[in-house]
Amino acid sequence: MLKHKTSVLFINNSGKEKKAIRVPTTLLVSWRKYLAVTLALIIVLCASLCFLIFKKTSSFYSLVYKNRLEHANRIKNEIDVDKVKASFKSIDRHMQQINQLLTERGLSKLALENAGGPETFDITDINEVAAFYETELGKAEDVIRHTPIGRPHPGDQTSGFGHRYNPFGSGSVESHSGLDFRGAIGETVKTTADGVVAFAGTKGGYGNCVIVQHQNGFQTLYGHLSKINVTQHQKIKSGEKIGEVGSTGRSTGPHLHYEVLINGVRTDPSRFTKL
């Protein structure tokens, strides 16, 4: 069928140059049919290629989905939801108790500020993370309970720790071993930490005085009291009333004298009255 050929003459615009080629006659007669067949083949090839691409892509995403689903199920199995809930409830409870302790001592509550950064942890570690914070907050609460922080009385501070002029008017300089807080006779004086009453009675220039022994070598002293509300060896809690403001002993007027000692050495209480 392709043996019969027809000559095709190509002439340029000037009519001078010409070129002849021979093509099968059937192509000239049935070119529409051959063009349609060619287009059909191209369409079939494109469709086949698209199908192969779709199949491979679909298989890839199916595998990704399967892996993610398996990962999610593994996380679900590894996380003890009830344990995590209990841990976070415990964390909330510790935070509330810590803030209550701070408030009772005239200090600001702890607050979690907005923060950011790239630090992350795998969600499967949440059991361990929750347990860690629960333990650490428990330790923090215990430290706060047994460390004398905050104020024993809300009155204004009238004298600081260190040297001062003699309040009795001699003009001399004397060493002051604590802080003085202005107050009225009968106002409540509270302990600043859990502990045991080591002394409750009259003690020289301190007048009526209470000394409380705390953990880690801490002691607190409350002097010039008008009334003592605790007894020696009594266990007391932070914020508990131990006496009332007075002017007993070496005193020029109603106020509370407050000292903090560490292993028997007097230290500046203002280090602990503000955080």
For the chain, the domains span 5-75, 79-108+120-146, 157-273
Q: Which residues contact 206 (CB under 8 A, 6 or more apart)?
A: 221, 223, 224, 249, 250, 257
Per residue of the chain (275 residues), what is the pLDDT tens digit? Answer: 555 665 655 566 665 656 666 656 665 556 666 666 777 778 878 777 777 776 666 666 666 666 666 665 565 555 555 666 666 677 777 677 777 777 766 666 666 554 445 555 454 566 676 677 677 777 777 777 888 988 999 999 888 877 666 665 555 666 778 999 999 999 999 999 999 999 999 999 999 999 999 998 999 999 999 999 999 999 999 899 999 999 999 888 999 999 999 999 999 998 888 76
Would you state the pLDDT for residue 121?
A: 47
Residue 64 in tokens: 């990704």
Instruction: List the structure tokens of 201.
Output: 């009675």
Phi then psi for residue 30, to 5 deg, are -115, 40
Residue spans of beta strands (DSSP E) within 39-89: none
Going along the chain, which residue ranges are E strands? 5-11, 18-24, 157-159, 162-165, 173-176, 179-182, 188-190, 195-202, 208-213, 218-225, 227-228, 235-236, 241-244, 255-262, 265-267
Q: What is the pLDDT of residue 115?
A: 47
The CATH number that domain 157-273 falls under is 2.70.70.10
Report the alpha-carbon distance of residue 27 to residue 22 in Å, rounded: 11
Q: What is this structure's pTM?
A: 0.56
> So what's the pLDDT on residue 79?
56
